[in-house]
Amino acid sequence: MPPTREWRYWKSDWASQCILLSTVGSRHDARPRLTFQAVAEPKRTKVRIHLDVEGIDAGRASVEALGGHWTGERHDYDEGIVMVMRDPEGNEFCIVQHYR
């Protein structure tokens, strides 16, 4: 199967520099990985993908430069900032900046 627009988006340098719990790339690589799995059932609840970024504005700019967009939803907490984004295919995820 040829790479999809979504695959190219998540394979980008920006996405591969985020701190992830899932996978892109080889499991033998020191960088984080992000894995997508096709399932037969439709999505019924929100997606719970959160990517840690060093700077929320730079993270948003990187997402938008790759064809994603900000939904307009932002949450400011004592611990940091969460912005709800969508990839080019409309899949929701969050970028998170933790205060140090």
Structural domains present in the chain? 5-98 (3.10.180.10)
| Per-residue pLDDT tens over the stretch 1-33 | 455 666 666 666 665 555 433 445 666 766 555
d(CA 99, CA 10): 25
Q: What local confidence, expressed as pLDDT, does residue 21 receive?
A: 39
Q: What is the pTM of this model?
A: 0.63
* Cα distances (Å, whole numbers) of residue 42 to 8, 22, 38, 84: 23, 20, 10, 21
